[in-house]
Structure 1
Amino acid sequence: MIDVYLLSGFLGSGKTSLLSHIIEQFKKEGTKPAVIMNELGKLPFDSRAVEADVPLKEMLEGCICCTGSEKMEAQLQMLLEGESFDVLLIETTGAAHPVEAMDAVYSPLFASKLNMKGIITVADCKRWLDRDKMTPQTRMLFLEQIRHAHLIVANKIDLLTDSEIATVTMQLQALNAKAPIIQTSNSKLPLNIMKKIEATFHEKEINETAIGKQLFLSSRLHTFQEPVNQEDFECWLKELPDTVYRMKGYVPLVGHKNPLLFQYAYGMVQWLPEMIKMPPQIVIIGDQVDRIDVLGRISND
């Protein structure tokens, strides 16, 4: 049977970084991984973290746990019939309830082929400390992702003081006393720790948090018509409401030949140069992002 790990965690917590580290470690030991990635938006930005020799299937424009069960089954079937691999890693969208997402994996078609090892939830420690600023629905999802984990990756501890780290660790343990907590920076989780988890799913009541029901999380695609000034762009980012949780894509900046790879999570920005010209688009994810004035005050000179 093929072991399956489900990577959960809120938007911008570090799931894709975790995925990259896990893939690298599996390959070093001679184990061939395959990946299924789920994104809310239309563009597969995060799939760039997966190397070309790793079998990959993508689910775009929707959440596994809400409308994607049939798509997930089809992707699994294509992987199992068309690829040879030893372990399957499923990265859910940050808006997915982990148990609902995992239920989408189960099918009589695969019962004899897949062994669900468990849920690894990446918890953004910095966001945890400010969780009361979230809307009640979104905070509920954040807590559910941690509550149902079989292993908690307490990420971004490099941004916290020793006192804050102790506080977060105690509070996470109080919410989920059975899951080991591993403190990390940049989601660097040792593979031997991950392999020790074994899933059990009958002990906890599941509180439904599907998008379109309790949650108002949505994604929005913005296409740039011309380059923008980096300083003005970053000023606009600082004015965004707390309900914008994640942005990613390619931003055309004045003075640069190609759009830069752009990542935004919880007020933190990352820019990476691109060697080729990518579509000048970003995906914005958060609560009711249709109400955001997208780049309304950005200068183009």
Structure 2
Amino acid sequence: MVSGFLGSGKTTLSLLLAKRLVERDKKVAVIVNEVGEVGIDSDLFVNFSETQIFELFSGCVCCQMGHDLIKALNTISEMENIDAVVLEPSGVALPSQIIETIRCWSENVTINNIVLVDGTRFMLLWEELEHIMGDAIFSADMIVVSKIDKCEAREVQGVLNKLKELCPNVPILPVNLLAESPPTFEEVFCIE
């Protein structure tokens, strides 16, 4: 699961993960949750022939759309040769509830919650949206601090310090997802 607040870089990271998996001859299913009626993110995945896209609209997958998520997971589980699912919930989702829904669907599935934090806005957003952002951060298996290329070094260090204070046992990776040579995520996320 690639979660994080609006504008943190979830789609960019989801694309990167899907691309890396496809390059390793894996078949990927991507579930994209849009709160509005019109989806735009799935259009970005059209070049991945080994990727099946599922769009969930008109609500947050963590709340009123739990049934739709289970329906999508059931469909994916019936498909042949799907090696991985990349789930990109809405930017206002509560990942802990999504994890709970997935656990209700199957206790045996491995869930890795990669949480994106926008380095340029984290401190401000944390003050205003601690409940929403805290749910993501405290359920994270890894935190990726994005947009570090748009921050001064002291800003990045301030974000890293705060995140280490909040989640001392969670790996934190500061990155520029749009760099010419994006970071290699295979080792970090244990993609096989």
Q: Same fold by TM (over 0.5)?
A: yes
Alpha-carbon distance in structure 2 between the residues aligned to 1:91 and 1:55: 13
One of 13, 20, 26 as aligned partner of 1:25: 20
Q: Which runs of 5+ in 1 are unaligned?
A: 1-5, 197-301
Q: State the SS of the aligned residue for 1:8.
A: strand
One of 144, 156, 159 as aligned partner of 2:135: 144
Percent identity (aligned): 26
One of 117, 120, 124 as aligned partner of 1:126: 120
Q: After alignment, is 185-194 or 27-36 more displaced?
A: 185-194
Q: Give the superposition deviation at 1:133.
A: 6.2
Which residue does the alignment assign to 2:56? 59
Q: Alpha-carbon deviations, 1:1-41, whole Å to 9, x = none?
A: xxxxx111001100000001111111112222111111101
* Structure 2 residue 155 is matched with structure 1 residue 167: no
One of 103, 106, 122 as aligned partner of 2:103: 106
Q: Which has more strand, going by share of residues?
A: 1
**Structure with larger Rg:** 1
Alpha-carbon distance in structure 1 between the residues aligned to 2:74 and 2:21: 22
CA contact (8 A) 1:11 1:95 kept: yes
Q: Give the superposition deviation at 1:97.
A: 0.8
Alpha-carbon distance in structure 2 between the residues aligned to 1:166 and 1:78: 43
Alpha-carbon distance in structure 2 between the residues aligned to 1:83 and 1:184: 34
Q: Which runs of 5+ in 2 are unaligned?
A: none
Which residue does the alignment assign to 1:92? 89
CA contact (8 A) 1:68 1:104 kept: no
Alpha-carbon distance in structure 2 between the residues aligned to 1:82 and 1:69: 20
One of 47, 68, 73 as aligned partner of 1:76: 73
Which residue does the alignment assign to 2:110? 116
Compute the RMSD of aligned alpha carbons.
1.8
Instruction: State how 1:231-246 maps to structure 2 within 5 Å.
Output: none
Q: After alignment, is 156-165 or 46-55 more displaced?
A: 46-55
Alpha-carbon distance in structure 2 between the residues aligned to 1:18 and 1:132: 21
* Structure 2 residue 182 is matched with structure 1 residue 192: no
The TM-score, its normalising length taken from structure 2, stands at 0.89
Q: In the alignment, residue 61 of structure 1 is paired with which amino acid?
A: S
Which residue does the alignment assign to 2:36? 41
Q: State the SS of the aligned residue for 2:120.
A: helix
Q: Relative contact order (alpha carbons < 8 A, sep ≥ 6): 1 or 2 greater?
A: 2
